[in-house]
Amino acid sequence: MQQLRRSGIDRRTFLKAGLAAGAVAALGPWVVREAHASSGEVRVFGWAGYFTDELLAKFRQDTGITARYTPYGTNDELLNQLKAVQGEGFDVIMPTLDRVPNYVELDLVRPIDEREAALDKVLAGPLAGSAGKAGVGSGARYLVPVHWGTEALLFDRKAAPLSYGASLGELWKPEYRGRVTVRGHSGLAGIGRWLDAQGRLPHPFSDGFRDPVRMKAIWDAILKVAIANKPSVGQFWSNGNEATAAFVTNGCVIGQNWDETAAALIADGRDIGYLAPAEGAFAWMEGFCIPKKAKNVAQAYAWINWFLDPANGAAFAAARASNSVARGADAHLPEAARRFFAAAYPGDALDRLWWWPVQEAWYVKLRNEYQDRYLAA
């Protein structure tokens, strides 16, 4: 488990340092040769709310390809569906980087053809260790990264004002009882990182991603604290709509949430803040994989490469307060996106980003068991 450790980073230098995962060849145009402005379709299984009608129309206008978009709400939903159809039915999927080994292990995705993916348009990278290696398995690349974002502290500026230096433990203060929102498994991870920073775990939190025995000891300690503080939770969320509803309709004033939830609430006119905690914001990266039984492979590469165009990458990422990995995308960002980024990651917050490590199948199974016990308690 590695954190990004750099000094003197701002948005521009961070984005220029950019994405990931070792040296990659500079190959391919942004619309793949076989598909150039041609016809056909691409079947996309992607996160709910990511691809608007306007974006899909722009893709068709630029490439001549029709995108058939099917949404899902969680990584587990994506994996379970692809397992059920044995990698068939879709041409592109969109897992988070740390979950790619699950698909490789189950032989559900094909290696990326680096002659066709426009990897020269991807920023060369700030990621190290497990985060940077997650899209690579058995000597081949299986994911082309597209954007990154975070899960951090989301708060009502009047009811729960926070300033930089606030901890993940802020959520469990008595004054917020019944008004906190968290996701089951990442809420437990947040408690784990809070306890780890205080030296209150039997082993370092990072050890749990490598050793099932230590993972159980660590998460037993986490679960005990989580259940004791469960009366503070006003609503659990598992997707963006639920996370937004926690604040809009269910009285929550503070939570551990995605950046896109904060952006949606701010766009709705709510006085919401979003801030990296003292322990470091949970950082994730998403990209595109091509399933093993994809039928429209050339069109899949055209879809992937379209998002690595700077203007397209910026428009896609800014709409959800995430950050494109396309070279030059920062020059196309609207001012509101720049302000959001500066407020979310002040001071040394970018130095402290905590990238989700690879989550192998055994870890996900155990993690989900602890989540179920937490939710049922």
pLDDT in tens, the chain (377 residues): 233 223 233 333 344 333 333 222 222 333 333 444 446 999 999 999 899 999 999 999 999 999 999 999 999 999 999 999 988 999 999 999 888 988 998 999 999 998 999 988 887 653 333 334 445 556 688 989 899 899 999 999 999 999 999 999 999 999 999 999 999 999 999 999 999 999 999 999 999 999 999 999 999 999 999 999 999 999 999 998 999 999 999 999 999 999 999 999 999 999 999 999 999 999 988 999 999 999 999 999 999 999 999 999 999 998 888 888 888 888 998 998 989 999 999 999 988 989 888 888 899 999 999 999 999 99
Going along the chain from its start, the domains and CATH numbers come out as: 11-149+284-335 (3.40.190.10), 150-282+355-376 (3.40.190.10)
| pLDDT at res. 137 | 56
| pLDDT at res. 361 | 86
Q: Is the pTM for the entire model greater than 0.85? A: no
CB 289 within 8 A of CB 103: yes
CA–CA dist 112, 143 (Å, integer): 7
Burial 116-145 (b: 16+ CB within 10 A, else e): bbbbbbbbbbbbbebbbbbbbbeeebbbbb
Sequence-separated (6 or more) residues with CB below 8 Å from residue 173: none
| pLDDT at res. 223 | 98
